[in-house]
Structure 1
Amino acid sequence: MNIVIAGGGVIGLATAWRAQLRGAAVTVIDPAPASKASHVSAGMLPPGNEQLYGQKDLLRLYMASRELYPSFVAELEEFAPAGYRRDGVLDAAFDEDALYTLDHQQAFQESQGVRAERLGPEECAKLQPAFAPALGGLLSPDDGAVDPRVLTAALRTAIESLGGTIVRRRVTRIDGHAAVLDDGDTVPFDRLVLAAGCWTHRIEGLADGAVPEIRPVKGQILRLHSNPPLLNLTARALSRGSSLYLVPRLDGELVVGATYEERGYDETVTAEGTRDLLTRVAEVVPGAGDLRFAEMNASLRPGSPDDLPVIGPTTVPDVYMAAGHFRMGVQLTPVTAEAMAAYLDDTEPPAHALPFTPLRFT
């Protein structure tokens, strides 16, 4: 089976690797693999978020991916380090409304069998000394984060080690069972996976309505650096009805995010976005002002028409789709890759993936 994957972000790369493990010959086509949303993402792997409330199907998919992550990473690390940490996530409340949010979050986690430990102000200060005084917290000791830049590098290493090909071009059009590239070359396929994020629906040559529009949602993310690391573990700071996530790396990097902007295909880093994140992080981490400014990035999250992932076969024979993961691409990578590998070799996909096919839009 000759599989072509149009798009080399974390979803496309993971799908390629899992398909290879099932015996497929794989070609990934992307002008700059893992340089868009995957490159900018903080990689937080929390026990849940507000997107899951009231979304039964998405919740099942999310929890299945959470369960898969340790084994997914263990297999991948036979090829290269994956940047995975499972040393806890702290949700810290900085006002009374946030304390109520913690009550809701704790009840939600416990309903899913996810461990959660409620912390008082002193316990929060002991666990995360760099924080401003918090009113309370919720520790999820079995969760953590992954560095998407390390993860995607490991996936590229695995793909190439298994004989796969990564072509640094862009798929512009589909012509029968061939992908037409931006330089005019064609790459034949038995099956094709469209995984180009918010550019997926711009690939031409498919019947109208076969691929739903994947809209771009801009997010700006700040990277600071210190030595030693300022924070001990991944955290979300809750205040004034919003959540600021802070993801430390072992090398001293601190990833802070993120803004949420409906701005089309604008990837501009703005002064307003930078100021907003710097102000918010200084409120909860007073020492952040002394950290070295490393990067400010913007990326385009891929949002489907119903803001849910699009995973599985389209109405076009032998053309599949893996896109539209919105703010949960990294979290849903293992389960998406497993489902897509099953679709591609004609085995039964997991039941929790079935509600997310592109066919729901036709």
Structure 2
Amino acid sequence: MVQNQSLSVVIAGAGAIGLAIGWRLVQRGAQVTIVERGASGHGASWAAAGMLAAGVETEPGEDALFHLNRRAQRDWPDFARALHQASGIDSHLRLDGTLSIALTRDEVERLRAAKVLHDRFGVASDWLSGDGARELEPALSPRVAAALRVADDGQVDNRLLVQALRAAFLAAGGTLEEETEIHALLREGGRVVGLETARGSRRADRTVLATGAWSAALLPSLPIRPIKGQMLALGMDPARPLLRHVVWTQKAYLVPRDDGRLLVGATVEEAGFDDRMTAGGVMGLLESAWRALPTIEEAPIVEQWVGHRPGSRDDAPILGEVEPGLVVAAGHHRNGILLTPVTAELIAELVLTGRADPLLAGFSLARFSPKAA
């Protein structure tokens, strides 16, 4: 095993995942270069809503992902403090709970099913009447019939997060090559030994693939595809925000930011890398938001954008060594920001020591092989 202080690592991708892994590796003595095809932090990480929703997004049959998500949520306060100290940039972590609301009888029954699942997994959630929900958020529609408040969920400003990660990585001594096209993985003697880029070869002892929805272009065996999401932001008075909690409806979520933006998202579309906003997408988001929060009618639209989530076949990330010298950290789908701290910690440990934490066992690429079926 190469000693940490002389271990060289090249990372493909400078989103939240790649930057966080790089930062953790440099902190532990590795020599790290991150190569990014565009501007760092301006892919899916920039387009995200920054929700930390390990509770609200609990789904049946996702036991392994639930435990990984909950570990990440527990890690977030210490991670945010360390990142703030290292970068001087506050990523505005807020763990003040989220509300999942119901406006119809069918939606109430879906909330009841969610509450049963929360109780089974040990998620702290409180059942609220419509009046109880409006006590927390007075601007909610009178039609809100019930809600679940998930106490431990929250949000972080993902755009500040990637700025902080970039600053922390560079301050720790990492090297960042932006606007550099990555052509291929560099292989020699049955081992991945770096990257072929538009600026030449970048050789290293270990290579980490963290290019999100674009990962399969470099490693076609990865079952990762882009899942298009349209989002928009409305303007609020920061001193008198329309909402204080993240609010989930059946078809949209609303995320209030400290700077006065109210994010409304997001569509889920199998549309490849199409980056166009559509009338139907915007209309659907605004209608769902308006049904929950009628006061948005007068709010200005201040931004609209499209992001591409990296989705795997089972909506869970692919984490671990897939070839000698090559580690993958991709396919995080809707949980990339939430999983940033734990992914960085587990992948850094794997790269440095060769030892895989037991938490990684459920996220190997091997789970998609015919033998695993």
Fold-level similarity (TM above 0.5): yes
Aligned partner of 2:75 among 47, 56, 68: 68
CA shift, 1:52, in A, is 2.9
Provide the C-alpha distance between the structure 1 equivalents of 2:244 and 2:148, rounded to a whole number of angstroms.
Answer: 15
Equivalent runs, 1:32-43 vs 2, <5 Å: 32-43=39-50
1:212, CA displacement in angstroms? 1.1
Instruction: State whether residues 313 and 359 of structure 1, in contact with CA within 8 Å, keep that contact through their aligned partners in structure 2.
Output: no
Matching residue of 1:307:
315
One-letter code aligned to 2:158 = P
- In 2, Cα distance between equivalents of 1:293 and 1:72: 33
After superposition, give the CA deviation of every residue in 1:17-36 in whole Å (9 maximum; x if it has no partner). Answer: 12222221211111211111
275, 282, 292: which one pairs with 1:274?
282
* Percent identity of paired positions between Structure 1 and Structure 2: 36
| Partner of residue 253, structure 2 | 245
Question: What CA distance in whole angstroms lies between the structure 1 residues aligned with 2:61 and 2:314?
Answer: 14
Could you tell me how far apart the structure 1 residues matched to 2:334 and 2:116 are? 23
Aligned counterparts, 1:196-275, within 5 A: 196-203=211-218, 211-227=221-237, 228-237=240-249, 242-275=250-283
- Deviation, 1:192, is 0.6
Whole-angstrom CA distance in 2 between matches of 1:48 and 1:233: 14
Is 2:141 aligned against 1:132? yes
Match of 2:55 in 1: 48
SS in 2 for 1:186: strand
Q: Residue 179 of structure 1 corresponds to which residue in structure 2? A: 195
Does residue 142 in structure 1 map to residue 158 in structure 2? no
Q: CA RMSD in A?
A: 1.7
Report the TM-score when normalising by structure 1.
Answer: 0.92
User: Is the 8 Å Cα contact of residues 55 and 150 (structure 2) preserved in structure 1?
Assistant: no
Matched, 1:296 2:311: no
Query: What letter is aligned with 1:161?
Result: A
| Aligned-pair CA distance for 1:305 | 3.0
- Cα deviations by residue, 1:62-114 (Å, 9 ceiling, x for unpaired): 22112211221121121221221111111111111221222222232233333
Quote the Cα distance in structure 2 between the aligned partners of 1:116 and 1:308.
24
Which of 92, 95, 109 does residue 100 from structure 1 map onto? 109
2:97 to 61, 64, 88: 88
Deviates more, 1:152-161 or 1:63-72: 63-72
Question: Is 1:188 paired with 2:203?
Answer: yes
Q: Which residue of 1 aligns with 2:172?
A: 162
Q: How many residues align?
A: 351
- The reply to whether residue 342 of structure 1 matches residue 357 of structure 2 is no
Cα shift at 1:351: 1.3
Checking the alignment, whether the CA contact within 8 Å between 2:228 and 2:306 is kept in structure 1 is yes
Moved over 6 A (4+): none
Unpaired stretches in structure 1, ≥5 consecutive residues: none
Q: CA deviation at 1:159?
A: 0.2
Which letter maps to 2:257? Answer: R
Residue in 1 that maps onto 2:190: none
Q: Distance in 2 between matches of 1:8 and 1:301?
A: 15
Separation in 2, partners of 1:73, 1:33: 19
3-state secondary structure, aligned to 1:78: helix
C-alpha separation in 2, matches of 1:245 and 1:73: 23
Residues of 1 paired with 2:246 and 2:57: CA distance?
18
CA drift of 1:49 comes to 4.4
Quote the offset at 1:59 in angstroms.
1.7
- Can you list the C-alpha shifts for 1:35-74, whole angstroms capped at 9, x where unaligned? 1111111111124345631122212212211221122112
CA distance, structure 1, for counterparts of residue 10 and residue 154 of structure 2: 32
Q: Which residue of 1 aligns with 2:4?
A: none
- Structure 1 residues 47 and 317: alpha-carbon distance in aligned structure 2, compared to 1, 3 A threshold: closer
For 1:120 and 1:360, the matched residues in 2 are separated by 42
SS at match of 1:219: strand
Distance 1:99 1:286 in 2: 20
Question: What CA distance in whole angstroms lies between the structure 2 residues aligned with 1:252 and 1:59?
Answer: 31
